[in-house]
Each structure stands twice: as C-alpha cells, then as structure tokens.
Structure 1
C-alpha cells in the first residue's frame, strides 16, 4: 500500500533516483538563486547584461534602499494585517466545524461535509466577477476587510476537510468517557480534542499563512490602493513606467518570502508531525 523504500528498489530505480534528485533540486533552486544574486547587484551590473554571473559589486544596501525608496514596509504590514486574522480565524473555525462533523451524528451531516469538500473544486476564476460586485455593493472593496472576509470564506472548505479527517481518528471512547464523567462539550473540545490535534493545527496554520500570504490573484480583484495592497501586489507596483529597478524588485521578493519561511521553521516540528499524524498504525 505504501511506497517501498528506495533502498529496497531495483538497481536501476536506485541510480535513477540518485541522479534525478540533485537535478530536480538544481532546477528548482536555480530561479531562486538568480533572484538572490540580482537582489545584490548594482543597476549598472544589470544593464550590462550580467544576469547569471557573480555581481561585480555586492550591493547589500539594496535591502535598505527598498524600504527607503518604496512603500515595502507598508506592503508587508498590509500582508500581516490580512494574513494573521485569516490564519487564526480559519484554524479556529475549522477545528470547531471539523469536530462537529467528525464526532456528532445529525441529519444532513454527510451532505454538509460534502458541501465543504465540493467547495474546494469550484474554480476561483468563475467567481471573480460576483465576488468583486459583492465587495462593491457591501462597501468593503479596496479594504483589508475585503480580503480577510474572502479568504476566511474560501479557506473554510479546505480547512474543515483537513481538521475533520484528523479529528475522526481520535477514539470515540475517549470522548464518551469524558461525557460519562459529566465533562461539558466545551471542555471536551478545549481540553481533550485540541491538545490531541495540536500538530494538525500547527500544520494547518503554516499552510493557510502561506496560501494567503502568497495570494496575488484576489489582491488584483479586490484591492486597488497602495495603502491596502499586500506585498505580493506591492512588488509588482515597484516597476516604474519607463525603468524597472530589478535589484529592488528582487530584494523585495526575497523579503516577502521570509515570513512564511520563518513561520515554517518555528513550527517545523509540529508541521511535520501534523502532516504524518495517522500515517502509521500501532
């Protein structure tokens, strides 16, 4: 049922794996390396066409200039204002909804769960015009609230599916014994269920933070002003009308990638445990 360890594979599969892995890593890291080198170049170096070689001079000051000459700090703050409430709200709603769908039997349970699952397969592109019109009618267009409400609504399906599957694996006898002892449903959820699925909560928090932080499509649909734009749309705004300062754009891109990476390393142990929770028996 599970993939066989590579050590037990045939010699041809072993050699293919050992050759393909470093090649795939190089191809994946090559664009990132190019962006990092560009962020440390001078504009003269870029104008001379030196895109892949070592910079003539290492301009570490580009990372300071991008804050001094562009509204990068505001863009990053906007992303935090949008992403953190969505992450907390999505995880909280998903944990509660997942617990209800996994451990309560009521009429329409399976149909409600199917609704959450089916929502994940709706193409976002066909919702672009209705969502934008709704934001205009309700007066939240071009505000942080528009993106917060949208992401909360559209992350609910995936998050609930994610948490419901983890909570379903908890023993029913554990919850029933707590009920027999007279423990309230709120305390069962707060003191028994949540501690047991903490790795799953951490994994979900990292995933949602990354999804929302890196969103670009819905930013273009629901936000217009620089004072509201998150960092993904803000980086594209760094291009001038006649000249693009690629060293500053690259420095901004590297800075924009740091928060999700930092969150992953902070929650790395819980993240990996959450993704592998229930992967083994016994």
Structure 2
C-alpha cells in the first residue's frame, strides 16, 4: 500500500482540548451570563425602589425619578414609620402570620403522614383533592366567601363583631385554607422518601402511631418544614388581597395593606411609599436569613441519590 492511500489521522497532543472540551466552557459561560442577567433583572426593581426611597420628594418632583440625585436622605424612612403607625400594623401581621403558619404546618404534616403511611382507599382521592385546591383562583370565590363570612358566627373573644368578617380569625382561616393543599403535597412527597424499614423497626419495638409520627417522622422532615415555614411566612405576610377583601377596619389590617395610609387623596408621595415598602420587607428577609440553611436543604432534597 502506497503512502498516498494512507489516511492521515490527527491525534490531539497532551494538553490540547478537543471540540467537545471547547464547547463545555462556552456553555458554562453562556449559563453564567444568563444567571447574571436574570439576577440583575430580578434585583433591578428592588434597587430602584431603594433609590427612590432615599431621595426627597422635592428632588424627584423637579428632576423626575429617572435622574441623578442632588442629595440623599433617610427622612422618608422615619416619616413612613411614624405617619403610617407601622409598629401597630407590624403587630397585626404577627397576629395573622404566626398562628397561620403554625396551624398550616401542623395540619399539613398530620395529613401528609396519613396519606403516605396509612393504607386507606381514599388516600389518592384526598391527595388529588388537596392538590386541586391549589388550582382554584382566589378571585373566583370572592363573592361567595364574602357572603359566607357575613353569616358565620364566631365567639366574641375572636372577633369584636361576632362574625368571621372583619376579624383576625377569619383572615387566619382563609390563609390556612389556601396554603394547606400545597404543604400537604410537598410533605407527602417528602415523607415518601423516608425508608419504610425505619417504620417497620419502630413498629417491632412497640412504637404506636403517634410515636412514629412525632418522634420519627417530624425530626426527619425538619428541612422540609423549615423550607415551608419560610415560604408560608413570606406568602401570608405579603398577602394584600384577602386583607383588603375581608377586612373593613383599617386598624386591624396587616402592614402590607397599611401602606395605603401613606397615599394622599389627590397627590401621593411615592418616595414615602417606597420607604414604607422597604421597611415592610425587612421581616421576611430576617426569617429567610434565620432559616436559610434549612431552606436550602429542603429545596435540595431529592437532587442526589443514596
């Protein structure tokens, strides 16, 4: 065979990258650019709100909101704190958020344990029912729920008027109802990952149903409970829709709806409202920082095998 008929094969030398290796850094750079762009777009409204909050109203009225500041001030934060009576409305948010989160996690963990560890014929139907509840838009039930709240009596200790409407108890109940389905769905999938051999060993040792739930299941579900507690605190605390719909008294509303007190009848100081919004967002950031480790662990559940 002559040398001309031989096919020349090029073998990459050591230390040189092939075509596949060259594509990997490009893909990594593209993904990093995408993540950076998405992060900037996500943080841009927050940064702009903070920028507006530290500018005086006279400055933005004269030069516009999209302009370089002539001077910065923190007076908007102090004025928003005092003019909107934020300490009182913060306490209203605590009275609504904390009981709602505790009740949702307690009911959801018990329901998820029953659905995953007790062999009942209605388990699948109940799980579908809980999941379907999340697909119901809130706006669909405004009118029937409003009429229902005007007729349901509650003890006077829970509501001044003796009705679910315009009561903290009614606002807690509706938040529990709408958040329960999602938490049951998440916790049931979490509990399915717990090995069944652990329950069999506990049953052999004489552990009852309550012991298996309280001492075995709940400690293992701590990351999921922390993640759900963070999400629930954010969702219920930031709720504005139900507070406006089911509350007629302004002094009973949570802090998110109390920001409306900073609006004027004809002219509104948007710098003052921006400062109030930044103050109202602080508790959710504190909750996330306190539960950050458990929150990330709960989100990463199931990402690895073993």
> What TM-score comes out, normalization by structure 2 length?
0.85
Deviation digits for residues 163-222 of structure 1, max 9, x if unmatched? 111011111110121111111221221111111110000001001111111112222211
Asked if residue 234 in structure 1 is aligned to residue 248 in structure 2, the reply is no
Q: Identify the residue that residue 192 of structure 1 maps to in structure 2.
A: 216
| 8 A contact 2:109–2:187 mirrored in 1 | yes
Q: Identify the residue that residue 256 of structure 1 maps to in structure 2.
A: 280
> How far apart, CA to CA, are the structure 2 residues paired with 1:226 and 1:168?
44
What do you get for the CA RMSD once the two structures are aligned? 1.7
> How far apart, CA to CA, are the structure 2 residues paired with 1:186 and 1:129?
40
1:240-279 to 2 correspondences below 5 Å: 240-279=264-303
> What TM-score comes out, normalization by structure 1 length?
0.92
1:1-282 to 2 correspondences below 5 Å: 10=24, 12-138=26-152, 139-282=163-306
Q: Identify unmatched segments of 5+ residues in structure 2.
A: 1-20, 153-162
CA shift for structure 1 position 78: 1.4
Q: Identify the residue that residue 5 of structure 2 maps to in structure 1.
A: none
> How far apart, CA to CA, are the structure 2 residues paired with 1:9 and 1:235?
51
SS for the counterpart of 2:48 is: helix
| 8 A contact 2:130–2:185 mirrored in 1 | yes
Deviation digits for residues 121-176 of structure 1, max 9, x if unmatched? 11211111111111111111112111101011111111111111101111111012
Count residues with an aligned counterpart: 276
> How far apart, CA to CA, are the structure 1 residues paired with 2:286 and 2:68?
27
Are residues 193 and 9 of structure 1, via their aligned partners in 2, closer, same or farther at CA, if it must alter by over 3 Å?
A: farther
Are residues 123 and 9 of structure 1, via their aligned partners in 2, closer, same or farther at CA, if it must alter by over 3 Å?
A: farther
> How far apart, CA to CA, are the structure 2 residues paired with 1:154 and 1:19?
37
| 8 A contact 2:84–2:261 mirrored in 1 | no
